[in-house]
Chain A
Amino acid sequence: ETGVTQSPTHLIKTRGQQVTLRCSSQSGHNTVSWYQQALGQGPQFIFQYYREEENGRGNFPPRFSGLQFPNYSSELNVNALELDDSALYLCASSLRGRSNEQYFGPGTRLTVT
């Protein structure tokens, strides 16, 4: 059984650019949630995907978007990057309706300069 994996590990982008982060869910899990964790803070829910559709969204602007693929892997896309987007981006996978049993990946550290 493989765990949640994320790529890349680290990323440096310039303000105004676009970025795509990737997540492979744990084997058997059909739901993926994305979180943003600023330095020294707890994770903040961005959105959740189930059956390739968004299934709940936190307080993030539309320039944060996502995709889920038939194999349940997922992407997080952020357009028009801002300095405050610098953070650790975590994805977590679970079974539908079992978000309390979600498993987190190691995260992607994004730095915006």
Chain B
Amino acid sequence: GQQLNQSPQSMFIQEGEDVSMNCTSSSIFNTWLWYKQDPGEGPVLLIALYKAGELTSNGRLTAQFGITRKDSFLNISASIPSDVGIYFCAGDYTGNQFYFGTGTSLTVIP
């Protein structure tokens, strides 16, 4: 299957700091998604990207669809305690089969 590598694997930051994480693929994707998963729950969609170079925001979150179509980036500004969780990227080129990354675990220290 497709390999999506996320980095960093984990992050420990102070409340109020900005966060950056990225995801790279060995294949070109037509859609990139970013999800957040809390313990004991399924992933929740944060941002969807559909075009190379696209930059989309959702509140304090901003994501970009890489120009090469093989990568994507997620930034969180002014982190707060409820941002704690695992963030996953996911890519698709078929329209119905998403490949997920390995996840970035975020810890926010008050």
Interface residues of A (CB under 8 A from B): 4, 31, 33, 35, 40-45, 48, 55-56, 58-59, 90, 92, 97, 99-107
Contacts and interface: CB of A to CB of B under 8 A. Distances in A.
B95 A43 contact: no
A90 B100 contact: no
Given A97-B95, A99-B92, 17 more contacts: A4-B42, A31-B96, A41-B102, A42-B4, A43-B43, A48-B97, A56-B97, A58-B1, A58-B97, A90-B42, A99-B96, A99-B98, A100-B33, A100-B48, A101-B48, A106-B41, A107-B42
A105 B1 contact: no
Contact of B43 (A97, A100, A101, A104): A104
B59 interface: no
Interface of B: 1, 4, 31, 33, 40-45, 48, 50, 88, 90, 92, 94-103
Contacts of B100: 35, 42-44
Interface residue SS majority, chain A: mixed
A100 B92 contact: yes
B1 A44 contact: yes
Contacts of A106: 40-42
A101 B45 contact: yes
Contacts of A92: 42
Contacts of A103: 45
A35 B95 CA distance: 16
11 contacts: A4-B42, A33-B96, A35-B100, A41-B102, A42-B90, A42-B101, A55-B96, A100-B92, A101-B48, A102-B45, A106-B42
Given A48-B97, A59-B1, A100 B40 contact: no
